[in-house]
Amino acid sequence: MNSKWLIVFAVFLGMLYVLAPILMPFLVAALLAYLGTGLVDSLTMLKWSRTLKVTLVFSIILLGLILALLVVLPLVEQQISALIAKLPAILNWLKETLIPWLQSRLGGIVSIDAGKIQQGLQNNVGTAGGFAVDILGSLSATGMAFFAGVANIVLIPVLTFYFLRDWHTMVDRIYDVVPLKYKQQTASIAADIDIVLSEFFKGQLLVMFSLVIIYSIGLSLIGLEFALIIGLVAGLVSFVPYLGLIVGILLASVAALFQFHDITLLVPVLLVFVVAQVLESVVLTPLLVGDKIGLHAVAVIFAVMAGGQLFGFTGILIALPVAAVLMIFLRYGIKRYKDSDAYFGQ
């Protein structure tokens, strides 16, 4: 019996690997539906059908996203436009200031050919138009793939609606085919998984958006021009432990050096990220997430990297949920083992 289940599990993993390119919209929609089904269920005061409740929730979420985009997008567009306008000055600063400084400091350790680097930068700037033409050409050549990607994005809200509407029906049908002798164990494990995933996802999303706000406001207060863009990037990649901190410090340090031309002004930049890290570790994560997933930071990083290696972007999306589920099964297996005669040497 165990070997049969192993074969079924292996076949399931093989199908996931083969179907990975088309799974992304379904997985994202399932995740959104999972997060939203509690909100739909909470509308008990409305004596409506579930379809109408889902429509109401969808409308509220869509309106909130539109309002957020109307506020954030103009600010992001403004900073991106400013960044593009400053690209020639940035390249000139690299050639005239940074490269000579590195050559004077590291010339005895690392050989730096400033002439070649400057020539390479000039060539890249000179061929930027040709690069853009190549990109457009590749988009034309792979038009079907491009439209397939757009279709996948469009599919997400449609699939989410149907997942939300039929969530309990689908769960009940899956549970109905579980063998009778495993139903109680399955229900117990499913309840543990539900608690872990729901609390983790909701808490992690709140932590990410909180960090976006903290980074953006902090960097704005010290006068950094591209504070919003850096804050968005650093906050959104913070689902991987310390990745948001590292990326944010690197981007903000480079931006500060170019803007202020004073290495001492890196201190306020570092102070912003130190304060944000302390708030995340002491306040945000314990309050909003806690130890819901039960994985060490090293295990989280490994799970995300392994998911990306095996399934690309889709793997990154599902890495932590899958790791959390596997951890619950592992704990359950360890508990069964410790309750068995094998553990006591009998």
46 and 172 fall within a common domain? yes
**The pLDDT of residue 218 is above 90:** yes
The pLDDT value given to residue 138: 47
C-alpha span between 16 and 311 (Å, rounded): 9
Closest CA to 94 of 282, 306, 257: 257
Res 95 pLDDT > 50: yes
- For residue 213, give the nearest of 260, 270, 280 by alpha carbon: 280
Tell me: do 228 and 82 sit in the same domain.
no
In a domain, 120, yes or no: yes
pLDDT, greater one: 148 or 87? 87
pLDDT in tens, 36-61: 888 888 887 888 888 898 888 888 88
**Among 176, 165, 169, CA closest to 55:** 165
For the chain, give the percent of residues with pLDDT over 90.
8
Confirm whether 345 is domain-assigned: no
User: CA 88 to CA 243: how far, in whole Å?
Assistant: 29
| Domain match, 254 and 116 both | no
CB 201 within 8 A of CB 189: no
Same domain, 152 and 274: no
pLDDT tens readout for residues 268-280: 999 999 999 888 8
| Measured CA distances, 321 to 162, 226, 304, 307 (Å) | 21, 33, 10, 11
Of 126, 144, 177, the last residue of a domain is: 177
Q: Which of 151, 177, 203 is the last residue of a domain?
A: 177
Tell me which of 138 and 25 has the higher pLDDT: 25
Q: Which pLDDT band, with edges at 50, 70 and 90, does 133 fall under?
A: very low
In this structure, is residue 331 part of a structural domain? Answer: no
pLDDT reported for residue 274: 92
Residue 13 within a domain? no
Asked if pLDDT for residue 132 goes beyond 50, the answer is: no
**CA of 206: how far to CAs of 214, 235, 303, in Å?**
12, 11, 21
Structural domains of the chain, count = 2
Q: Which pLDDT belongs to residue 264?
A: 84
DSSP character string of 294-310: ---HHHHHHHHHHHHHH
User: For the ranges 20-29, 209-218, 249-258, 330-339, which has the lowest average pLDDT?
Assistant: 20-29
Q: Is residue 167 part of a domain?
A: yes
Rounded CA separation 208/204 (Å): 6
Residue 301 CA to residue 139 CA, distance in Å, equals 33
- Same domain? For 57 and 191 the reply is no
Q: What is the DSSP letter of 178?
A: S
Q: Can you give the residue range of the structural domain that contains 60? A: 22-177
Query: 105 and 225: one domain?
Result: no
Is residue 12 domain-resident? no
Least confident of 52-56, 230-234, 294-298, 318-322: 294-298
pLDDT of 232 > 80? The answer is yes
| 314 assigned to some structural domain | no
What element of type H or E holds 221?
helix 183-221
Q: What is the mean pLDDT of residues 102-112?
A: 59
pLDDT at 220 over 50: yes
pLDDT band at 130 (very low <50, low <70, confident <90, very high): very low
Is residue 165 domain-shared with residue 274, that is, in the same domain? no
Range 65-85 average pLDDT:
77
- Tokens 């999972």 -> residue: 34
Which residue do the tokens 């950094």 mark? 224
Domain assignment of residue 9, yes or no: no
Max intra-chain CA distance, the chain: 78
Structure token pair of residue 202: 């909701």
Residue where one domain finishes, among candidates 134, 152, 177: 177
Cβ contacts of 114 within 8 Å, gap of 6 or more: 95, 99, 100, 103
Identity of the amino acid at 68: A
**Average pLDDT rounded to a whole number, residues 146-162:** 77
Residues 101 and 201 in one domain: no
Most confidently predicted of 144-153, 247-256, 282-291, 322-331: 247-256
At residue 83, the pLDDT reads 72
- Do residues 200 and 160 share a domain? no
The pLDDT, as a whole number, for residue 273 is 93
Tokens 């953006």 identify what position?
A: 216
Domain co-membership, 216 together with 239: yes
Summarised one tens digit per residue, pLDDT across range 62-74 is: 888 788 778 777 7
User: Is residue 145 domain-shared with residue 263, that is, in the same domain?
Assistant: no
Query: Where residue 293 falls among pLDDT bands split at 50, 70, 90?
Result: low
Per-residue pLDDT at 1: 46
Clarify whether residues 45 and 142 are in a common domain. yes
Report the pLDDT value the prediction gives residue 124, as an integer from 0 to 100: 53
d(CA 212, CA 203): 14
SS3 sequence, 43-99? Answer: CCCCCCCHHHHHHHHHHHHHHHHHHHHHHHHHHHHHHHHHHHHHHHHHHHHHHHHHH
pLDDT at 126 over 50: no
> Is the separation of the CB atoms in 76 and 229 below 8 Å?
yes
DSSP 8-state secondary structure symbol assigned to residue 282: I
Distance, in Å, from the CA atom of 287 to the CA atom of 281, rounded to the nearest integer, reads 10
